[in-house]
Each structure stands twice: as structure tokens, then as C-alpha cells.
Amino acid sequence: MKEDILLKEIFNLLSSTHEPLETKEIEAKIIEMKLKEHSTRTKVFYRLNILRGEGKIKGKFVGPGKGVWIWWMESTFGKKTAS
């Protein structure tokens, strides 16, 4: 099976950031990494949903109308404490 470079780089990007990112921001950073031929907004969004489905990242739809999706890892906000 061929390694999914885009999936790996998106995961690495979210692992290394300390704040949630919008889909558009992730796409821009992927293009900066010289992976433009591998990425379109649709491909990035698809990979993000795969990672979310596997429980590796979190994602949430925010905003009115079309809105935007934001993506983060559990470690972005530290460990949750019991209240």
C-alpha cells in the first residue's frame, strides 16, 4: 500500500501546532511545504476527516451559513481534569 504523504504531513502539522487551525490554514501550510501537487481543498478536507474518524484529531464545524471547520489534537489544550 502506498504511503499517504498528505495524510502524514497533515497529522505532523497538527501535532506540532499549539492552536486549532482552519481547513484553509492547513491547506496553505501544506502548499508552503511544496506539496501543492498532492493537495486541493477537497483532498485536505478528506484527509482531515479520515484522521478525525480514526480518533487521531478533533474537528468542529463553527460559524453561521457555510461556516468553517477547525481542527486540533487533544494535546493542543493539555490534559482534561475531572471536575
Domains present along the chain, CATH in parentheses: 5-75 (1.10.10.10)
Which of 24, 21, 31, 1 is CA-nearest to residue 9? 31
Check whether 1 has a pLDDT greater than 60. no
Residue with cell 504531513: 9
Residue with cell 498528505: 6
Spatial separation of the C-alpha atoms in residues 76 and 3, rounded to whole Å: 26
* Phi, psi dihedral angles at 70 (to 5 degrees): -115, 150
Taking only the tens place, the pLDDT of each residue in 26-80 is 999 998 888 777 688 899 999 999 999 999 999 999 988 888 999 999 877 665 5
Residue with cell 493537495: 39
The reported pTM is 0.83
Beta bridge partners of 62: 68
